[in-house]
Structure formats: C-alpha cells, structure tokens
Amino acid sequence: MSDARSTANSVSYADVQAAAGRLHGVALRSPLERNDRLSRLFGAEVWLKREDLQPVRSYKLRGAYNLISSLSPTERANGVVCASAGNHAQGVAFTCRRLDVACRVVLPRTTPRQKRAQIESLGGPGLTIVMAGHTYDEAQDVAAALAVELDAALVPPFDDRRVIAGQGTVMLEVLDQLAVARPGVAAGVVLVPAGGGGLLAGCAVVSASVSPSTRVIGVEPMGAASMRAALDAGEPVALDSVDTFVDGAAVKRVGTLTFALVRDLVADVVSVAEGAVCTTMLEMYQREGIIAEPAGALAVTALGANLGIEPGSCVVAIVSGGNNDVSRYGEILERSLVHEGLKHYFLVDFPQEPGALRGFLDNVLGANDDITLFEYVKKNNREIGPALVGVELAAKSDLAPLVERMASSGLTIERIESGSPVFRFLV
C-alpha cells in the first residue's frame, strides 16, 4: 500500500498552485454560472464551470501549457509530439504557437473534421498533423514512436504530473469562485468528466487539500467506461472495445498516475448512456445556448443519475469542452430520440399487392406517429417485400398501442432491438 500511496501523492497541491502561476494570462478564468433550470429540475443549487469558453474551447489548454512551458530550452528546440482525439491537440497547438515550439500532432482517423480544422488554425506554420489509427490508443502508439525517432518531447493528454497539475487548476478556480459567489457554502458534489483521468485526478488533488468534505465524482460514457473497469480490477486495464461517439472521453486504458489518484481521492465514478448525453447536449443548446461536445455534456448528464445529492446542496458540473462538429447533430438527435423511447425501427414484410402500404399507414400507425425511414431491403421476391421502417412517436407511451396494432395487423413485423448489430448500424 505504501508504494501505491506514494504514486498517488506524486501530484501535490503545490504543483497545481505552480501551474496556476504559469497559466496566468494564458488560460481563461472560465465563468462559474448558476443554472436556474437545472437547479429547479434536480432540487439542488447547480453551477456550471464553463471550460467550453477557453481559447481552445476546452480545459485541455491548461495541462498542455503547463507541461510545455516547463520544458528546458533544449527540449523546446527539439519540438514536441502528442496524440489526441482533438481537444488535447488544440491545447498543444495553441501552446506551441505561443511559445514558438514545433509540434507534430497524431490524430485518430475518426477525429471530427471540425476539430482537425481548428487544430490547423491554432497551430500555425510550426504544426504538422499525422492521421493514424482509429482510436486514441492507436494514435498514441504512433506518437510515442515519432517522439523517439525525432528525439522530441512527448506530451501525454493525461498521464503526466505536469498535465494533471495543469488540469487541476480548474478546481482551484471552482472553489475560489464559489467562495465569492456563495460565502460559507461548500460544494457538496463536483461532477468531473473522466476520460483518461487527467482532469478528474487534478480536481481530486485540489479538493482533498482544500475542501475534503466535497465529493468529487467522475463521469464517463457507458461505451468507454475505462476508469470504472480499472477501479474494479484494481489497476488500469484495456477495454476490449470502445464506443468512440464521446470522442473526448473514449479511452481504452486510463493512465497509471491518474488511476492511483482517482482510486485514492475520488468518491465515485459513474457512467452515463451515450443517448442520455445526446439529450443533454440538445437541452443545453436549446435552453441555454451552450454548445457542448459529447464529453463536455457528461457531467451535466450525470445530474440525472442516482448520486445521493442532498436537496438544496451545492453541485458543480464541469462543462469540459465545446468543440462539437455541427454535422454531427443529425446523429445526436437520432441517439437522443432512441434513448428517450421516441424512435423505433421495425422490419415489416409487405405483401406485394395493391394497398398493402396504405393499409399499414391507416391501420397500424397512430395519429401522432411519423415514419422517418422507409427502405425496402429485398427487392427480388415477388410475394413479399421486407422493408426497414423507422417510426418516431410523439410520446413514449405511444409505443405499446403501436405494437398492439402491429400484432393484430396480419403482417409479419419484427422490432429491431437496441442490442442488435442492425440497430447499432442505424444509430
């Protein structure tokens, strides 16, 4: 146990304070805003820490700048290399342009186009982008090899003392801002997105030193719950696969340093469904005008989980990033509707005779049901024509009557369940 504790204590509160000094005038002291809608909805005093408003639209600038600004002149002259799903790369690119350091950024091929373009605009002439692999972990292997080949400094996105300390400055600001806004009121819970664990670990270091009564809770997507897997196994383990939709938190294996800190200092780590994240993103955009990326909406989504939040207590959710590609909103809406039980898919065998489709529309669909997808999947059978039909409901309660009408229609209709390969292809 002594060795493990030594590892966990490798990042200190003093390290975070030193990072805050380096970041002064570089990173924005992002707003801490009370959210009336969420406060009413969850019966608590909910505050949002707006890291989506940073110059690179995420908290990642903090860790990247703290590490790179700490390098020796010789190390800076050799340049740096990093791997990233997008936000860390933006922080590195912004930092390197500001400090006049050459950098190579390795991005997974799945990185959204908007993030690639933003990285290029932030990095300037000293930036080289390398596209490799389909996940962060594959890109990281390429980056590590490049760093050795070029004798360049590798800038990890989370598993480094300097990166963790830089990310921890978010919590320094939270506690300071809350003390001004609500004197004498401590944060009962702080919800922190958990990908590789850098932000979560850094926030936990500060909370343990300054506000030990505050429960720091990590939040990760169900399709990439790597920190929960590590905690259950007692050490970092690699997931067999990850859902890359929440790309800013889709990490197969958490860091060694971050794991030790999270294990020792974090109250809990919970996971939320990707569909619920999509619903939160849409609500934040429509109600508050906040453009949150999927990872940026993780903490707010967790407000709906069973966290044991005391009524009227003070809760802070970190909105970690706002780099969302507008072209993804179609998928975001689709996932949200499915999660809310408002969108369903069916395979319908239509007899090849006049009026078959009209009968389905008149006798099966309800007054408020809407067909959003209709596509024949087999066209060489003269007797029947299987069709893939997507139906959007006005209310979740409309599903049972729809299924009953389908059962009595005389048609062969199969509902496509959410766990099937066909369903995963659709959403």
Q: Other C-beta atoms within 10 Å of 197: how many?
A: 35
Q: Which of 49, 320, 336, 343 is catalytic?
A: 320
| 393 and 399 Cβ atoms separated by less than 8 Å | yes
CA distance 84 to 71: 20
Q: Which of 60, 115, 252, 343 is catalytic?
A: 60
Give the ranges where 113-255 is alpha helix by DSSP (H).
113-123, 136-150, 161-181, 198-210, 226-233
Nearest CA among 83, 96, 195 for reference residue 131: 83
Q: How many CA atoms lie within 13 A of 156 on its CB side?
A: 21
Q: Other C-beta atoms within 10 Å of 286: how many?
A: 9
Per-position b or e across 94-123, b if 16+ CB within 10 A of its CB:
bbbbbbebbbbbbbbebbbebbbebbeebb
- 327 catalytic residue (yes or no): no
CA distance 229 to 315: 26
* Strand 343-351, strand 384-392: pairing: antiparallel
Q: Other C-beta atoms within 10 Å of 72: how many?
A: 9
* 315: β partners: 46, 189
CA distance 245 to 294: 8
**In the block, which residue shows the tokens 């990850």?**
242
CA dihedral 177→181→187→192, nearest 10 degrees, is -50
CA distance 65 to 152: 16
**388 token code pair:** 């893939």
For 102, 139, 152, 154, 257, the CA distances from 145, given in Å and listed in that order, are 17, 10, 10, 10, 21
CA distance 427 to 415: 15
* Strand 32-34, strand 370-376: pairing: unpaired
CA distance 159 to 367: 55
- 396 catalytic residue (yes or no): no
Q: Other C-beta atoms within 10 Å of 36: how many?
A: 12
| DSSP, res 245 | T
The catalytic site residues sit at 60, 320
